[in-house]
C-alpha cells in the first residue's frame, strides 16, 4: 500500500509540474502575441509616402508625361491604407502607360500601369500632339536616310492658279518635326510624324493635294531660317549664297 501511495504521489506531482510548465508556456505565448499585436497596430498607423493623382489621368497617358508634367503629388497615408503595389518613386512611371482612368486623389499603383512596347506611339505624344502617317516617295522623303528620332523640316509645294496661269510655289510648313516612324529603303513610302493638332490637318491636306518634302536637320545646333514663299520670281531675285 505504501508503494502504491508513493507511485500515486509521484504521478500527481509530475502532472502538476507539467501543468505548471504548460501554464508558463501559455503565458509566454500570450505575451509574445500581445507584443506582436501592439507592434502591428503601431506600425499600421505609421505614415507612408505614396504618389497620388493630382488631376484626372486618362487611360493611355504615358508615365513619362505624368512625371514631367507633375500630374501627381506625394501624399502621406497610414501604412494600413497603402494599396498593394503603391508607387513611391516617380522613376517607376518611366516607360509605362495608364491602363485605365486614374481619378484625383487616387493612389498610383503598379497595377494601374503597363509597360509599353518599344516604339509605341502613345509614349511619344502628349496633350495637343498628334501622330500622323503620310505617304511619301523615296527622293522627297529621304527614305533610307532618315530614321525614327530624327528631326526634319517639312516643305509643301503646290501649283497655284493665278491671273497669269498656273505657278508652282513651295514654302516651309513646319520646322523641327520629330520623326516617329520612318520607312526603310525598299519598303512602303510611309512616314509617321509628330505634329500639333492643327498642323496635322494641314499636313493631310498637303499630302492629298500637293507635294511634301522632308529636310533632315542636324542632330544638334540646328537653326530655323524661314525662306518665305519660294516661286520663280523669288528664286530669280534671290542673291547667291556662299
Give, in order, the Cα–Cα distances in Å from 193 to each of 117, 169, 201.
Answer: 19, 23, 12
Region of poorest pLDDT, from 77-86, 116-125, 156-165: 116-125
Give, in order, the Cα–Cα distances in Å from 166 to each of 33, 161, 206, 209, 236.
Answer: 93, 4, 17, 15, 17
Angle at 57 between CA 54 and CA 58, to 5 degrees: 165
The DSSP-derived string for 170-200 is EEEEEEEEEEEE-PPTTS--EEEEEEEHHHH
pLDDT of residue 178: 93
pLDDT of residue 192: 93
How many Cβ atoms are within 10 Å of 160's Cβ, its own excluded?
13
Highest mean pLDDT among 124-128, 179-183, 198-202: 198-202
Q: How far apart are CA 146 and CA 242, in angstroms?
A: 26
| Residue 214 contacts residue 142 (beta carbons within 8 Å) | yes
As a whole number, mean pLDDT of residues 209-223 equals 90
Percent of the chain with pLDDT over 90: 31
Q: What confidence tens digit (pLDDT) does each residue in 56-114 have? A: 998 888 888 888 778 899 988 888 888 999 998 888 888 888 999 999 999 999 999 98
Q: Biggest alpha carbon distance in the chain?
A: 143
Q: How far apart are CA 75 and CA 53, in angstroms?
A: 9
User: So where are the chain's domains?
Assistant: 47-115, 128-237
Instruction: Between 186 and 231, name the one with better pLDDT.
Output: 231
Fold designation for 47-115: Type Iii Antifreeze Protein Isoform Hplc 12 (3.90.1210)
Percent of the chain with pLDDT over 70: 79
- Collect all residues with Cβ–Cβ distance below 8 Å to 106 and sequence separation of at least 6: 52, 53
Give yes or no for residue 35 having a pLDDT over 80.
no
- Collect all residues with Cβ–Cβ distance below 8 Å to 207 and sequence separation of at least 6: 134, 135, 136
Give yes or no for residue 161 having a pLDDT over 60.
yes
Give yes or no for residue 5 having a pLDDT over 50.
no
Q: How far apart are CA 70 and CA 66, in angstroms?
A: 6
- Collect all residues with Cβ–Cβ distance below 8 Å to 57 and sequence separation of at least 6: 66, 71, 98, 101, 102
As a whole number, mean pLDDT of residues 179-201 equals 87
Give yes or no for residue 53 having a pLDDT over 50.
yes
Please count the residues of the chain: 242
Amino acid at each position: 500500500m505504501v508503494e502504491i501511495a508513493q507511485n500515486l504521489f509521484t504521478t500527481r506531482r509530475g502532472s502538476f509540474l507539467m501543468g505548471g510548465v504548460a501554464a508558463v508556456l501559455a503565458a509566454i505565448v500570450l505575451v509574445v502575441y500581445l507584443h506582436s499585436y501592439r507592434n502591428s497596430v503601431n506600425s499600421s498607423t505609421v505614415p507612408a509616402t505614396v504618389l497620388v493623382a493630382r488631376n484626372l489621368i486618362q487611360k493611355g497617358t504615358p508615365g513619362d508625361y505624368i512625371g514631367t508634367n507633375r500630374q501627381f503629388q506625394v501624399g502621406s497615408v497610414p501604412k494600413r491604407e497603402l494599396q498593394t503595389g503603391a508607387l513611391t518613386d516617380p522613376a517607376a512611371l518611366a516607360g509605362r502607360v495608364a491602363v485605365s482612368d486614374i481619378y484625383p486623389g487616387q493612389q498610383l499603383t503598379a497595377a494601374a500601369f503597363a509597360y509599353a512596347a518599344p516604339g509605341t506611339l502613345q509614349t511619344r505624344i502628349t496633350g495637343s500632339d498628334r501622330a500622323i502617317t503620310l505617304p511619301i516617295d523615296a527622293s522627297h522623303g529621304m527614305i533610307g536616310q532618315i530614321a525614327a528620332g530624327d528631326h526634319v523640316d517639312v516643305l509643301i509645294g503646290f501649283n497655284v492658279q493665278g491671273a497669269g496661269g498656273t505657278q508652282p510655289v513651295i514654302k516651309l510648313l513646319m520646322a523641327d518635326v520629330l520623326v516617329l516612324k520612318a520607312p526603310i529603303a525598299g519598303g512602303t513610302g510611309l512616314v509617321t510624324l509628330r505634329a500639333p493638332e492643327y498642323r496635322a490637318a494641314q499636313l493631310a491636306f498637303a499630302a492629298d493635294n500637293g507635294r511634301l518634302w522632308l529636310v533632315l536637320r542636324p542632330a544638334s545646333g540646328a537653326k530655323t531660317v524661314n525662306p518665305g514663299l519660294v516661286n520663280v520670281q523669288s528664286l530669280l531675285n534671290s542673291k547667291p549664297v556662299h
